[in-house]
Amino acid sequence: MNFKIDTYSLDGGVPVIKLEGEVDVYTAPQLKQQMISMLEAGTRQMVIDLTNVEYFDSTALGVLIGGLKRIRERDGNLALICPSPRIRRVFEITGLDKIFDIYSSADEAKTGIEIIR
Amino acid sequence: MEAQGEPVVVELKIPCKPEYVGVARLAILGVASRMRFSYDQVEDVRLAVGEACTTAVEWGAKNKRDNTDIVVRSSISNDKLMIDVIDGAGQRQETPAEQDSIEPESLGALLITLLVDEVTVTPLNGGTHVKMVKYAG
């Protein structure tokens, strides 16, 4: 299956979930589980890196929406790194680009994210 | 793929399970890439077929009928691609609460209407037939 999930940290310790490949009905549950684990461990600021994602559908969008809702209930925030115009287009045509903070690179995300201390 | 007269048909049958939706996407990518579509249009078709198959998989799971198949039939003409996605995943009956929520299935339906030029959804006996048309050029 063309999908990988990994984690790393931005400067300041903000955790990033890095996705690769295709995020769809089959693979999106792994993203959901990772997000839930991090929330349960107390994470209130999270970034999802979609740099190497080549397919992102409504199931994946639904997981992000659910994650955003849960993290905002904890006064936290979720941001996305999405340099690919093609993946960004999925957010734009559904209007979800107005709901999520979407950055074009990790550097942009670093300067754009408000660090919650 | 230049088609004169009768449309050329490419048909694929996949199990109604999440792990096979990617196979249908790959097949439709192969079909659409050979037509006079722009890069964005090919991607639209791939996403629309992915969404239609995903909806079938989700209803199959909900209706406990995931032991069925999804047929994806592409009819290729010079000026358009017609795609029929036919499943035996049972009836699609939303509860009133489901109708109001921003659930992935509603997003999927929204995406399909935005990605293709025409879409019709017809209930069948024990399943659903989604017909999508994308005009080329």
pLDDT tens string A51-109: 999 999 999 999 999 999 999 999 999 999 999 999 999 999 999 999 999 999 999 99
What pLDDT does B100 receive? Answer: 56
As a whole number of angstroms, the distance between CA A80 and CA A17 comes to 10
Q: How far is CA B42 from CA A25, A50, B27, B38, B135, in A?
A: 20, 21, 12, 6, 11
Q: Domain count for chain A, please give it.
A: 1
Determine, yes or no, domain membership for A93.
yes
**CATH number, domain with residue A81:** 3.30.750.24
Cβ of B57 and A25 within 8 Å?
Answer: yes
Determine, yes or no, domain membership for A71.
yes
CA distance B61 to chain A (A): 12
B58 touches chain A (CB under 8 A): yes
Bridge partners of B74, per DSSP, are: B10, B83
Determine, yes or no, domain membership for A80.
yes
Maximum C-alpha span of chain B: 48
Q: Which CATH class is domain B8-135?
A: alpha beta
Name the residue facing B54 among A2, A24, A94 (closest C-beta).
Answer: A24
Determine, yes or no, domain membership for A2.
no
Determine, yes or no, domain membership for A100.
yes
Give me the half-sphere count of Cα atoms (radius 13 Å) on the Cβ side of residue A68: 17
Determine, yes or no, domain membership for A1.
no
Q: Exposure string (b/e) for B41-74, b if CB count within 10 Å is 16 or more?
A: bbbbbbbbbbbbbbbbbbbbbbbebbebbbbbeb
What would the mean pLDDT of A6-22 be, rounded to a whole number? 93
Determine, yes or no, domain membership for A10.
no
What is the ipTM for the molecules in this complex?
0.91
